[in-house]
Structure 1
Amino acid sequence: MEMLVTQNISMHAVESGNPVEGLTLARSMQGHTLSPRLETMFTMREARALAALGDEQAGKLFTHALSLLQDGTRSSDPPWAWWIDDDELRIQGARLHSDLCQWQDSIRLHNEHLGWVTREASGHASVVAMHALCLADMGYALTQVGAWRELEDVARTLLGSAGEITPRAYAAVRRLTRAVEGTPGAPADLRDLLHMLAAKIGESK
């Protein structure tokens, strides 16, 4: 359980803007004997922290995490480690690439995740919540490359599920809205759509 808590604090440290703490925590398990799945988890957290610090070595470390996951599970893996899978790495990889401003790679991995959701997990409550967050994160990446038509599709999808958006996803929507507002050339209709989305989410809270 200590490992679960440590990696969780590392994740929240990175997400809240303290990647140095996240990196220290992710590396705190170095020297411990870990199964491939658990080593994947801490390598993934280390890579995310490095990406948040702008260190491009994060990409190589993330590739290593992908290879570790292919080594499979072990009978010693704790029950709570079930979520460490290919799709979790797609989500984390998309965010890693965004942190490094590698927008096309981020968009590609977000699309792969969303395709997996459509095929395998649509309707699951936890997946629905993550789905909105990933859509908003992908929307931010689309803003950086000026992919307005694709971004409008994302915004309309989010609008259709506004009542199910979590506070964390709402924060991502607000970040997306600010990014569009600050981007010259963003279509006025898209700005209006995002304001409508933010208002609808606010009404549901």
Structure 2
Amino acid sequence: MSTSGQSDQVEQLRQSISHLVGLDGQQGGAELAPLAARLFRSASARLAARSYEPSTERDLTAVTAELGEVAGWLAFDSMHFDAARTLNFEALRLARSAGDRNMELFILGNIAMQAQEVKQPRAALRTVQLMETFKLTPRLRVMTDLRRARAAADLGDARSFAVLRRAQSNLSNGVHRTDPEWSWWVTDLELKVHEGGMWQAFGQPASAVECYATVVESTVERYRWARFIGGANLIRALVEVSDWREVENTAARLHELAGKVSSARAGQRIRIAARTARRNKVPSSLDDMLTSLAHRSMTRPMNRPASGIKR
């Protein structure tokens, strides 16, 4: 293939990544995860066949690593944790091969987040310690501190909040010219989400409710997935304080999104909330609503996303 053809291939992969990320924000990863994995496998196979000009090797490798990061994230949100782990480590190898330290750091952050999600905070902390050996841009320092704070909270270390406050303070300094473009998601709302999780780890669901309510109210409507999983987090915290009226209000709003958005992780949070609510003597009508919502959150969206993604 000519150098021009290789450049077109790199650009097509970048467009596919952009399209996948945009669709993920709209409808979650259930429909997208297998498609992203197939795209990554195809791109990886082309690299392995070495059918490219040497001058384009780094760009092809780097963009394939980025595609692997997206595929790993989508598998993670779909709770296909074994697949996510495999995709993450394959993408990590490619990022290292390309010398893309920023993408390597991003993927390590995802690996730490998955360890935290599956209740392995010590493994998460070990990954964070590796991340801290990198030369970090300001926003990547915030991301790394966020991952450390969350892992430390799950280990019961009260100093975790000091780390989070440092991250919040550093984030207020704004974007630096050295920050990678993909770090756009490192925002005050992202930190607020994890602050809620930290309060829950310390057995203070009322404080978690405040954090999650702020996130839901402040997330713009076009980011439906973020509003959906934010609402799932909020329901779980509200159930823990037995605020049935607000649970019902939040569940009603999420029902409007269900069918348009799917997230296995959101569904898992709602299922946990439903079980807790049942133990806390929730009204039967609300029990039915939560059970229905948990089921619907796992259902793939009605609109298929494949069109527009370069294969």
TM-score, structure 1 as length reference: 0.89
Identify the match of residue 166 of structure 1 among 263, 271, 280: 263
Amino acid at match of 2:258: A
Per the alignment, in what secondary structure is the counterpart of residue 28 of structure 1?
A: helix
Asked whether 1:191 is paired with 2:290, we answer no
Match of 1:94 among 179, 191, 196: 196
2:136 aligned with 1:37: no
Deviating 4+ runs (over 6 angstroms): none
Say how many residue pairs are matched. Answer: 198
Kept after mapping to 2: 8 A contact 1:137/1:172: yes
Q: Quote how far apart the aligned CAs of 1:54 are.
A: 2.0
Q: Distance in 1 between matches of 2:131 and 2:299?
A: 44
- Structure number with greater Rg is 2
- How do 1:10-89 and structure 2 match up within 5 A? 10-89=112-191
**Cα separation, partners in 2 of 1:177 and 1:27, compared to 1, 3 Å:** same
**Alignment partner, residue 246 of structure 2:** 150
Equivalents in 2 of 1:202, 1:66: separation in Å?
33
Give CA-to-partner distance per residue, 1:18-72, whole Å, 9 cap, x none.
Answer: 1111111112233443222111100000000111122222111111111111222
Q: Which has the higher contact order (CA 8 A, sep 6+)?
A: 2
- Percent same amino acid at aligned positions? 29
- Structure 1 counterpart of 2:279: 182
Q: Distance in 1 between matches of 2:191 and 2:229?
A: 15
**Compared with structure 1, are the counterparts of its residues 42 and 199 closer, same or farther at alpha carbon in structure 2 (3 Å cutoff)?**
closer
Give the SS at the match of 2:177: coil
Q: Aligned partners of 2:186, 2:253: CA distance in 1, in Å?
A: 27
Q: Structure 2: which 5+ residue stretches go unaligned? A: 1-102, 302-311
User: Could you say if the C-alpha distance between residues 78 and 162 of structure 1 is closer, same or farther in structure 2, counting changes exceeding 3 Å?
Assistant: same
In 2: Cα distance, 1:201 partner to 1:10 partner? 25
Distance in structure 1 (CA, Å) of the matches to 2:191 and 2:170: 11
